[in-house]
Amino acid sequence: MTQETVFSQIIKGEIPCDEVYSDEQCLAFRDIQPQAPVHILIIPRKPLKSIKDAEVEDKEMLGHLLLVSAQIAQQEGLKDWRTIINTGSEAGQTVFHLHIHVIGGRKLTWPPG
């Protein structure tokens, strides 16, 4: 990824966030425009535009992101939640740095949008 994003600026500490989890592979923080009582974003520290840009060597990191999403949901007291990865602008991706949404704390309907 060559283009700077708001998420890469958050990773570098140039923009503050309401951090809920951090390790050597990822950072998680509360969404500034939450769509539910709990809305957390999990971003890899590796600059990856979207899931469609992932390579075989990213499989451990991708698995780690999903495990962290479940850990965070439970840490937030969620019994049920939605885990979302938007891929591409027509799917709702607005920041082109791979990220996972963990959304819960209210009844979620289907289809989502």
Residue of 9, 95, 5 whose CA lies nearest to 50? 95
| Residue 34 identity (one-letter amino acid) | P
Let me know: does 101 contact 84? Beta carbons within 8 Å.
yes
Let me know: does 73 contact 84? Beta carbons within 8 Å.
no
Is 99 catalytic? The answer is yes
Q: How many CA atoms lie within 13 A of 84 on its CB side?
A: 20
Query: Which of these is catalytic: 39, 64, 97, 99?
Result: 99
Q: Which residues are catalytic?
A: 99
